[in-house]
Amino acid sequence: MPLSIRILLLGLLAALPALAAESPAAAKPRITSQDQLPRFSYDFTGRVTDVVTNDEIYATLAPAVRADLEGLLNDYEIADRTTLQDVLLTLMSMDLHRGDFAAARARLATVREMEEKPAGKLTTGLLAESYMEARESGDYATDEAFRAAFAKIYAAKLAALPWAIVADNLKSARASAEIVTEALVIGNLEASLQPGVDKTGSISGDVATMLVGQRTNVAHFIPLRQERAAALAAIITANAVEKPNIWPEREITLSPDSKLQPVVVGIWDSGLDPSVLPGQLWINAAETADGADTDGNGYMDDIHGIAYDLKSDAVPELLVPLTGQQLALYPQARNWTKGMLDLQASIDSPEAAALRRHIAGLEPAEVKPFIEGLNLFGNYTHGTHVAGIAAAGNPAIRVLAARITFDHRMIPDVPTREQAEKDAAAARAVVAYFRQQGVRVVNMSWGGSPRGIEAAFEANGAGGTPEERRATAREYFEIARTALTEAMREAPEILFIAAAGNSDNDAAFEEFIPSGIDLPNILTVGAVDQAGEETSFTSFGANVDVHANGFEVESWLPGGERMKYSGTSMAAPNVANLAAKLLALDPGLDAATLTALIMDGAERSADGRINLINPRRSFELWRVRREN
């Protein structure tokens, strides 16, 4: 999926694992990928949302979930920090809900010890910690008295944090406090999970951990929304100093009189609006916009690129055609999206205020069309936004669009082998097209994993047991991964640039593609903010080669408006931008040399986690190379 602009139901206590104690017994089986994790299943009938709102229903599921998660920690060695933290945090939320604060604090301490991101180490579990301290600080005659005690403790903990490190996390926390309501949580769970449960009478371990974690959220944290938002707003206002922006001084802008050579760059994404990049588009001179395949290459009207629909059938439209109803809703979805982005950046805009009001009035039944509308807008605008970043400051770029269509619906189609093979064939065809047209750089700000296929099966109540779904998902995923890997390997002249992902996890452990594919001609990109600090959302791991700005990056939307988006989807085209500019000056650079110039020009942080691109340094390295 691409970066979709949607409400992320943050759970606030992420549902995840804890470190098991070392056992002197025989070595435990070592889990090195998500596919090796055992799958759990629980019989369940009725409304899934009852688990979140009713302690009696919760109690029918929670003990089994707890036993399975604790068994997972005791019986396996899990070689992934994020998975361990996720298990721990789920168990912590369950401890908190039953009032076992000592156990909850012990798990939280372990999570923080494992956290590598500086901001995450300081802010993870801060809400839960404040809640527990408030509950322990006295017996309150009224709920208002407890709220006041919580607000005081929470505000004091926020004030003690180093603002320069935690600013972005606190802004996101404020957005969550303002927009994540009980109705939003219930509506999201109802729309995305109930259809599958009604068909199978069961839920998977993934869904069960989500539900028990949300019980704590709904019962304890959402009722404190106003106090949380007020405390966060106060600390943000008190520190209303923006971080320094390191990127302008690193940028390189090419002028038309720099003896540039045209360089073709593929934007393999959700489609783009050609009108926003006049003079920077690749043009197929052999094709005519006449509703036919004029040049006989298998594609109709491929003047500026090619497109595939949701079923991986070739179509002529570089942007997904919107229905009349979708067009009518587009302005509202745009305003909701801007409002959400402004809330996440703590900007009190009219759109942010309108979004707060809209969400506050949402009923659970209204959540599905709201989220799907945001997803559609995000998918529709994503490719154009990415293309604008890749093309900025480069009059020699020639953008070639390759549209891949993503589903905006909460319940996607049931995965099939036939569709997996069609998708794989389309991937091979797209890379072949890139080669035929002389593409030198391809940006891929999207990704998929076996777990995503499993989730699609479960959402539809299809695919059998969790173990059967895992086996089938692995089969379909390997079809996709093999096709994509082989196609890129057979195109050594192209530098492929992939977004690492926005899940704050190890992309290699999760087996994301394309970011988890290891080839000499692929670079995987993580996201930092304007100060060059790792974002809270960026995925990480040994496969992440470089980092670029992925925080509030401004670019085009279809129709010519500009908006700021955040994500590794925005970081990747900043690297594609650098690569294309080097090629515009020196088209003789091969992919290996191009990679070396980007990597050698980057700056590794002291802790080794971040490798910041520096276009100016890469250009200096290129000049030295040319002179020698």
Q: Which domains does the chain have, with CATH numbers?
A: 30-238 (no CATH), 261-323+382-590 (3.40.50.200)
> What is the pLDDT at residue 2?
61
Q: Is 90 exceeded by the pLDDT of residue 422?
A: yes
> What percent of the chain is predicted at pLDDT more than 90?
86
Tell me the pLDDT tens digit for each residue of 143-162: 999 999 999 999 999 999 99
Phi, psi angles (nearest 5°) of residue 299: -125, 135
How many other C-beta atoms are found inside a 10 Å radius of the C-beta of residue 496? Answer: 26
pLDDT at 176 over 80: yes
Q: Provide CB contacts within 8 A for 102, sequence distance 6+.
A: none
pLDDT value at 12 more than 50: no
Return the pLDDT at 7.
31
Would the pLDDT of 132 be above 80? Answer: yes
Rounded to whole angstroms, the Cα distance separating 581 from 21 reads 52
d(CA 539, CA 536): 9
Cα(582)–Cα(591) distance, integer angstroms: 11
Report the sign of the C-alpha dihedral through residues 14, 201, 67, 79, in that order.
Answer: negative
Which amino acid is present at 237?
T
| pLDDT for res 28 | 85
Calpha distance 507→501 (Å, rounded): 7
Residue type, 617: R
**Which regions of 200-304 does DSSP assign to beta strands (E)?**
202-204, 263-269
User: Is residue 204 helix, strand or coil?
Assistant: strand
pLDDT band (50, 70, 90) for residue 8: very low
Cα of 6 vs its chain's centroid, Å: 10
pLDDT bin (cut points 50, 70, 90) of residue 303 is very high
What is the number of helices (H) and of strands (E) in the chain? 21, 16
Q: Which residue has the higher pLDDT, 34 or 427?
A: 427
Distance CA 480, CA 31 (A): 23
Give the N- to C-terminal CA distance of the chain in Å, as an integer: 44
Q: Is the pTM of this model over 0.85?
A: yes
13 has a pLDDT exceeding 50 = no
Query: SS3 of 597, please?
Result: helix
- Rounded to 5, what percent of the chain is helix, strand, coil? 55, 10, 35
pLDDT tens digits, one per residue of 501-555: 998 888 788 889 999 999 999 999 999 999 999 998 999 888 899 999 999 999 9
